[in-house]
A and B are shown apart, each in its own frame.
Chain A
Amino acid sequence: MDPKEFQYVFAGLVAAWLILVIYAVSLGLRERRLRKELDRVRKMVEKR
């Protein structure tokens, strides 16, 4: 494949997977935040 063609294919693949990876990472961070919040609220309920 011509190097210029390869550049476009590479850019397309990187763009596609970067968006999905960023979304998956944001889901992971949200999951961690929710777990922490759940632990905090559970402790709060137990104290009462």
Chain B
Amino acid sequence: MREKILYGLGLVGMGLLAWNLYKIAFDLPHQANVAAYQIVYFHVPAAITAFTGFFVALVASGLYLATGALKYDAFAAGVTEVAVAFASVNLATGMIWARYAWGIWWAWDARLTSMLACWLIYAGYLILRRAIDEPTQRARLSAFLSIFGCVDVGFVYKSIEWFRTQHPAPVLSIRQGGGMGPGMESPIYWNWLAMLCIASLLVIVRMRQEDVSREIDSLRRMAHSY
């Protein structure tokens, strides 16, 4: 069953991406045929996918703290790892966009700096998990760090409204931006859906590895108990 879900998600994700690439390249209004738009079609969905992952990890971490069940901790760790990969995509494409639009790779403005801090917090989360062997202590500290990281996610989201620095103001109409023309926003949401399929596939693979790790641990305990 899990294999079928994996293949299904992979096919849907890849199909959506191929269709989107075609739409972005050939089927958009003329004014969207510039790098400024086309990079945004990957930069923004990567950010939304990463933030979705961080929020899901927050919920799983909260469930771990409430119940003490390690399965929630394992799920939070898997989702966070995948979300960090998408946050890296967001930062990398953002830097290329900045070089094109501003002539510089990086600016220490509120949005960019808070996003970098967010990436560092969650990268720290993954490093912390490798540093602690005791599962309960690792899960508790990771849960607190995940909650702290999600506070920064909220700050990253609102930073372009609170601080008018280098990064553009909100452009999407759901945030009352209105910076993109009619019909030019939809590739963002379709790409988000495609990335969400790919992220879900990666999380399922990651969770399967957690199951194997647990099986190895229990076999080792069994071997030592003889």
Residues on A facing B (Cβ under 8 Å): 1, 5-6, 8-9, 11-13, 15-16, 19-20, 23-24, 27, 30-31, 34-35, 37-38, 41-42, 44-45, 48
What 16 new A-B contacts, CB under 8 Å, besides A8-B39, A34-B212?
Answer: A1-B35, A8-B99, A9-B39, A12-B43, A15-B96, A16-B42, A16-B89, A19-B85, A20-B89, A31-B209, A34-B209, A34-B213, A38-B219, A41-B220, A44-B223, A45-B219
- Chain B, interface size: which category? 20 to 34
Which residues of A have CB within 8 Å of B198? Answer: 20
Minimum Cβ distance to chain B for residue A12 (Å): 4
> Would you give the 0/1 interface string for B200-226, flagging 1 where the beta carbon is closer than 8 Å to chain A?
001001101100110110011011001
Q: List 10 A-B contacts (CB under 8 A).
A: A1-B35, A8-B39, A8-B96, A8-B99, A9-B35, A12-B35, A12-B43, A23-B85, A34-B209, A38-B215
Minimum Cβ distance to chain A for residue B218 (Å): 9
Residues on B facing A (Cβ under 8 Å): 33-35, 38-39, 42-43, 46, 82, 85-86, 88-89, 92-93, 96-97, 99-100, 198, 202, 205-206, 208-209, 212-213, 215-216, 219-220, 222-223, 226
Tell whether, in the assembled complex, residue B92 and residue A15 are in contact, meaning their CB atoms are under 8 Å apart. Answer: yes
Given contacts A9-B35, A16-B46, A19-B92, contact A35 B219 (CB under 8 A): no
Which residues of B have CB within 8 Å of A12? Answer: 35, 38-39, 42-43, 93, 96-97
Which residues of B have CB within 8 Å of A5? Answer: 34-35, 100
Tell whether, in the assembled complex, residue A23 and residue B92 are in contact, meaning their CB atoms are under 8 Å apart. Answer: no
